[in-house]
Amino acid sequence: MQDSNSVGIVTPQYVHIDKPLCLKSGTVLNSYNLVYETYGKLNSARSNAVLICHALSGNHHVAGVYADKPKSTGWWDNMIGPNKAIDTNRFFVIGVNNLGGCHGSTGPASIDARTGKPYGANFPIVTVEDWVETQEQLANHLGIDEFAVVAGGSLGGMQALQWTLDFPERVRHALVIAAASKLTAQNIAFNDVARQAIITDQDFYGGDYYSYNTLPRRGLRLARMLGHITYLSDDSMAAKFGRELRSGTFSFGFDVEFEIESYLRYQGDKFADQFDANSYLLMTKALDYFDPANTYDGDLSAAFRAAKANFLVLSFTSDWRFSSERSRAIVKALLDNEINVSYAEITSSHGHDSFLMENHYYHQLVRAYMDNILI
């Protein structure tokens, strides 16, 4: 919905990066495309750029709407716009679709120039470190030497952390929201069940479903249904759905009975038509692999030794996917390095999804932090 505080109509842009990318997997991508959007204006000092990193199912379309699709509001439109918490009257905000995605950047559905067919199962595994490398290339393309802010929630927050480690000179502030420094066994377990649902779908064809003119919809639907359970809190599900029945009485069958079943199946069906299964696999692997402390024998404080950025770390009380405990571990590691970090745990009943939602205290905190940034 277009409002006066919206960036309004936006147009995606493409860049072809002709420089080979040496991925952590060992594979080399000779060149690749990135789709991105920008909102606001880059100032003459080029000191007001804000990079927004998306999470598992996100993309470059962070704010505003497309001219031909009035209901195509960007996923963080409530956060980014003129006079919003991330104010496009002051900042030049960039959203980019990560490599391996399915919204325009090179990914499994893209044509591999070497074969003339979609990469499919041949698309290499990509990591958060790889993504930050590509985002650096985009920054170069846009003439940005230093980001005022790199921001993201969940997997996007992990990218913000990685920026401060890999390019300490090129990021002044990191907004790390509902994130973690690594996934736990339980996190990985949920991701693996989601992956197995996709991979064992008989229409997956080892990732080459494009050749068979089909999609592993069943598996992707299950993956999304499961994901949704982890994004919502027990309490918010109870409050929103409880044990309400669609028809008011038991049907004694296996079709939709409870409202929560209806909701999850609807979300699953919708997602299965909109997202690419191979991309989903890649995104969950990037989540599983992220572990900056790993090269320091698990010592997260050691990992942040070279970081120079200032940090705002935020977590939400009902988030059980990446609980506040995870954010506090990040904060501790930063404090161990006497890094300037602000931290707040925001009271919210909406679970992990809270980072995407309107919350007055949350948005005021981000606004205050952003307003204090000198550009």
Active-site residues: which are they?
154, 319, 352
Answer yes or no whether residue 238 interacts with a copy of itself by CB under 8 A.
yes
Strands 13-17 and 32-39: antiparallel
- The tokens 């606001």 sit on which residue? 40
As measured in angstroms, the least distance from the Cβ of 209 to a copy of itself is 14
According to CB under 8 A, which one of 42, 226, 302, 373 is a site residue for a copy of itself?
226
Task: Tell me whether residue 271 or residue 362 sits nearer to a copy of itself (CB atom).
Answer: 271
Task: Tell me whether residue 90 or residue 224 sits nearer to a copy of itself (CB atom).
Answer: 224
- The size of the interface with a copy of itself (CB under 8 A), counted in residues, is 54
Is the CA virtual torsion 221, 131, 79, 12 positive or negative?
negative
The reply to whether 224 sits in an annotated binding site is yes
From the list 37-45, 151-159, 217-225, 331-339, the region that binds a copy of itself by CB under 8 A is 217-225
E strand or H helix at 295: none
Phi, psi of 133 (to 5 degrees): -60, -45
Answer yes or no whether residue 218 interacts with a copy of itself by CB under 8 A.
yes
How far apart, in whole angstroms, are the C-alpha atoms of residue 330 and residue 165? 13
Answer yes or no whether residue 195 interacts with a copy of itself by CB under 8 A.
yes
**Site for a copy of itself, residues 14 to 43, rule: CB under 8 A:** 24-26
How far apart, in whole angstroms, are the C-alpha atoms of residue 21 and residue 18? 9
What are the C-alpha distances in Å from 142 to residues 62, 105, 135, 198, 235? 18, 17, 11, 37, 44
**Site for a copy of itself, residues 288 to 307, rule: CB under 8 A:** 288-289, 291
**Site for a copy of itself, residues 87 to 146, rule: CB under 8 A:** 124-125
The reply to whether 353 sits in an annotated binding site is yes
Q: Where are the beta strands (DSSP E) in the chain?
A: 13-17, 21-22, 28-29, 32-39, 49-53, 80-81, 86-87, 92-96, 111-112, 117-118, 147-153, 171-177, 310-316, 341-346
What are the C-alpha distances in Å from 83 to residues 89, 149, 275? 7, 17, 32
According to CB under 8 A, which one of 3, 234, 273, 371 is a site residue for a copy of itself?
234
As measured in angstroms, the least distance from the Cβ of 219 to a copy of itself is 9
**Site for a copy of itself, residues 171 to 190, rule: CB under 8 A:** 182-186, 188-190
**Residues in the site for a copy of itself, rule: CB under 8 A?**
24-26, 124-125, 182-186, 188-190, 192-193, 195-197, 199-202, 218, 221-222, 225-226, 228-229, 232, 234, 237-238, 240-243, 250, 252-254, 257-261, 264-265, 268, 281, 285, 288-289, 291
Binding residues for substrate: 224, 353
